[in-house]
Amino acid sequence: MSIRFGVSPIAWANDDMPELGGDTPLADILADIRDVGFAGVELGGKFPRDPATLAPLLKSYGLDLIGGWYSGSLLHQDATAEIAALQPHLRLLKAMGSTVFVFAETSNAVHGDKATPMTGTPRLAAEEWAEFGRRLTEVADYIRSSGLRFAYHHHLGTVVETADDLKHFLAHTGPSVGLTLDTGHAALGGIDPVQVIREQPARIAHVHCKDIRRDVHTEARGKGASFLEGVLAGMFTVPGDGSLDYAAVMQALKAIGYSGWIVIEAEQDPVLADPRAYADLGLATLKTRAAEAGLA
């Protein structure tokens, strides 16, 4: 697989905040994604979960299913229970020909809670990382044996948010545990995404590209805002409209021989940030920087 560009539908309809784009028809979302020029799309809440329905639907728009977020509970259940729980999601991805399984631990996450400030992100105690990592590795081994790449999504408001969290995460998980490197979540969590690419090439299983407005994040966090309130304030945007250096990101991906999906995922209020216009800007930016780096 060479580089392919895809998008998350979250800019059109936000599953964590249904008031953002909740009335936008799926047909309109898919038409925009097709017309902008993406090759694939990640799952959204409006998507049918029956492959007999979803496959012809996406085919009619010329789109592949990249994959989709799975909310894990490995802090509350063992790997055997998690593997049993993820079967419907895995069956859908396999039926759709997806190549990556995006997993995030959400059993104690606060990113969906408007009442909890960004400073209230849960932390694992030092002695908890070994068991969490062992369970993650067992699940990832199973996903790999099923033919998909396991790609853990670090995320603000979850137990893998900061550079220190990522250090513990990498130290306590095996090689089957890949990363969904999210440039925006990395940057706002104090993680240098380019450094992670350079230092952990074997772990980069999937890439999400969102840009940031650091001043908006800093102000929102300082005021005690929640993650969702930060989104509403505009702390995220698409590549080309923020402060991240996507030339460096693409050069780093080129240097490690990355092959796979590069996905634009930028949570914004669609009333304030037209999803199609911003997606067009984001895709044009990534394609330009990728071409300059010799990546695509």
Integer angstrom CA distances of residue 91 from 50, 51, 280, 296: 10, 9, 32, 31
**At residue 179, what are phi and psi to the nearest 5 degrees?**
-115, 140
pLDDT exceeds cutoff 70 at 229: yes
pLDDT in tens, 195-224: 999 999 999 999 999 999 999 999 999 999
pLDDT of residue 1: 59
pLDDT exceeds cutoff 90 at 126: yes
pLDDT of residue 108: 97
> What CA–CA distance (Å, rounded) separates 147 from 140?
11
pLDDT in tens, 45-99: 999 999 999 999 999 999 999 999 999 999 999 999 999 999 999 999 999 999 9
pLDDT of residue 14: 96
pLDDT of residue 296: 74
Q: Are 95 and 83 in contact (CB under 8 A)?
A: no
- Paired residues of 152 in beta bridges: 103, 179
Q: How many CA atoms lie within 13 A of 38 on its CB side?
A: 33
Give the confidence band of 35 by pLDDT, cuts at 50, 70, 90.
Answer: very high
Q: What is the mean pLDDT of the chain?
A: 97
Helix (H) and strand (E) counts in the chain = 12, 11
* Dihedral angle sign, alpha carbons of residues 130, 148, 69, 183: positive
Q: How many CB atoms lie within 10 A of CB 240?
A: 19
Q: What are the structural domains of the chain?
A: 4-293 (3.20.20.150)
pLDDT of residue 173: 98
3-state secondary structure at position 241: coil
Q: Are 42 and 67 in contact (CB under 8 A)?
A: yes
Region 108-129: mean pLDDT is 96
Percentage above 90 pLDDT, the chain: 99
pLDDT of residue 216: 98
pLDDT of residue 286: 98
Region 8-37: mean pLDDT is 97
Percentage above 70 pLDDT, the chain: 100
Does the model's pTM come out above 0.95? yes
